[in-house]
Structure 1
């Protein structure tokens, strides 16, 4: 074989392996939102200076054990505020890496928006110029679903409803150190549902419960009969699947029902098989990926409307 061809082939393999390694190191991206409500900032403005100072200072911070970051820069109308929340079962080092990556990528995706947010599998990151802490914010939001439709709909929905209500109560009763809960329930001898619920820990118990309730209400509307669903809002999120996706050694777990079972979801053949079978779902406004395989999932953005008060009649 010609030496130049051997060198070219070797270079291709090296480049592929390097790309593969980098893909494995990056947390899976889910969704981002560039808000137009608060407008854009101009180049070299006071707000941009404060935002850049805030974002650059984060890389010099140390990892937080509870996975929640809150920081600000500046004052008055030009203040820049940011929060970050990591999944409760993620290690502090993986959390820090995820937020650092989100920090950089969000500026690339929303280069001049005053308010922006981004979600990954491991973390959520957002910045704005208004007050964040203590507010249960449910807009914007996104959802994604994956897997086949369930066949035992009634039994599945009944088990899921009980599990999510239990996790909502447990997560909302958490402290300022964390509002996070995971659990599982057996639908049948051959099927288990695994779920996760989380709020930003700055919320009150009522605020967290309200946010998670909004998520639960929208699940049957957006993703009815799906085996796996994720709904993310600014202040809370819920995810469930028939394969375990969270880390048991770090997660605070609750099991409901008579039985419990454990299934390995980390790069398992069943995961690959399931995503291969759903490789051609239509994408609405974004992309989701399973690990490094880049199998497309269904993703859709929706705006949560506040309930309208009914007028009373005499």
Structure 2
């Protein structure tokens, strides 16, 4: 038996039957990272619901890859009690082929977000109500309280700037990447921080801003203050920060902050 409600981040969409709800899984854990509301009930292998799920997953994969300006698709299959509703959003810097691979390879790393459910309420929502996947890196920065406080400020400033760019400078895609270039003298214990903000492109920019601002407002309430990386992935908006030697996205950052300028 498989759960009827499936919320998946970075997943092989064709095999979209998640098994258990996860809370703050570390990023080092094997993907995909599923989160599911098991109260939604289950379906049997070979059932009409499973057939509809597989058909919809294949259709979303093709539709998202066929829209290079959006890399996004929604849809539904079947009627009650076997109706399935779904959404697929690929990361905004991906190529069409990489987006298509998100739905075909056995493991896909950090490339897409997919959600399937027997209820379609989330398709009309303008926020992540009904399900978010929260992920942490599992590693922490080193240093005392002063270093941690400076790091938290740097992450918050970068995420806020990335959100602004996605909404104000890239309203057609609602997507932005960022980098904060640190200074060894100013930032002991951390240097380069990378970021990404994205909304589903069918949202109005104002709704995207509200969704991302809401995620950012809760950032340090749900994540450890000294965590090197974290992300919130939802059906409507997605926010991520990582401390590292290189970016997790492709191409040059759209937003660059420098420690000596902030």
1:29-68, aligned counterparts within 5 Å?
A: 29-42=31-44, 46-57=48-59, 62-65=65-68, 66-68=70-72
1:1-314, aligned counterparts within 5 Å?
A: 29-42=31-44, 46-57=48-59, 62-65=65-68, 66-75=70-79, 78-101=82-105, 120-131=109-120, 132-135=122-125, 136-138=127-129, 139-151=131-143, 152-173=147-168, 174-175=170-171, 177-189=172-184, 191-221=191-221, 222-243=223-244, 244-249=246-251, 253-257=254-258
Choose 1 or 2 for highest CA Rg. Answer: 1
C-alpha displacement at 1:154, in angstroms? 2.6
Checking the alignment, whether the CA contact within 8 Å between 1:134 and 1:202 is kept in structure 2 is no
C-alpha displacement at 1:255, in angstroms? 0.9
C-alpha displacement at 1:153, in angstroms? 2.0
Q: Structure 1 pair 43/209, CA: closer, same or farther in 2 (3 Å)? A: same
Per the normalisation by structure 2, the TM-score is 0.69
SS across alignment from 1:81: strand
SS across alignment from 1:202: coil
SS across alignment from 2:42: coil
C-alpha displacement at 1:192, in angstroms? 2.3
Cα RMSD of the aligned pairs, angstroms, is: 3.0
Checking the alignment, whether the CA contact within 8 Å between 1:168 and 1:209 is kept in structure 2 is yes
CA distance in 2, matches of 1:30, 1:203: 26
* Unmatched tracts of structure 2, length 5 or more: 1-29, 186-190
CA distance in 1, matches of 2:79, 2:43: 16
How many corresponding residue pairs?
216
Checking the alignment, whether the CA contact within 8 Å between 1:99 and 1:125 is kept in structure 2 is no
